[in-house]
Amino acid sequence: MIRRLSDLWTDSPLGFWLVMASCLYFVVMAGRLTVMDVRSHLLPNRIVFPSYAVVGVLLPAAAVLVPFGDSAMEETAAAVLFGVPGLAVPAGSAVLWLFYFVLRLIHPPGMGFGDVKLAGVLGLYLGYLGWGHVFAGTFAAFLLGGLWSLGILITRRGTLRSAIPFGPFMLAGAAAAMLVLPT
């Protein structure tokens, strides 16, 4: 994401500020949701739903402001089909929401619907960067959540039936993908 920001600074200063605003929003949203999920195992709609609107406006607007080359139609078609960074924003959100929804259908006690709703928001962020980020952020969330669960089992602070808040791991996985992976 940092590399993407530096590219935007030279290509589209307004796009840079839109992405920067969405990043700052992510930090605030992630902090609030992490605290709430750890305390109560809930991801409140009053935070998640407005995030769709905020991020759903900022990131696509930034993607539109990035100048294309001479063949804008060809690049736009390639972006939609192959997930060029910036233009896979709504598709990333839909795919990630659907993936978590299917997990919820398969095993309802294992995944709360708040996690499903949060997945759509994280899909907006990760979709802006490309499909590789969507997959890496999702993988990182499950890896981090699995390692945490393993630690709980090893230290005997819980059992296989213990509930853990998964929202913080989803947020951490998305943040890791946004910060570590190149765009």
pLDDT score of 72: 41
Number of alpha carbons in the 13 Å side-chain half-sphere of residue 111: 21
pLDDT score of 22: 94
CA distances 108 to 42, 45, 113, 179, Å, are: 15, 19, 9, 31
pLDDT score of 87: 57
How many other C-beta atoms lie within 10 A of the C-beta of residue 41?
14
| Total-model pTM | 0.87
How many other C-beta atoms lie within 10 A of the C-beta of residue 166?
25
How many other C-beta atoms lie within 10 A of the C-beta of residue 79?
17
Domain ranges of the chain: 2-180
Scored b (16 or more CB within 10 A) or e, 127-149 reads: bbbbbebbebbbebbeebbeebb
pLDDT score of 7: 75
Can you read off the two tokens belonging to residue 115?
A: 């996690």
Stretches in the chain below the pLDDT threshold 70:
1-3, 66-87
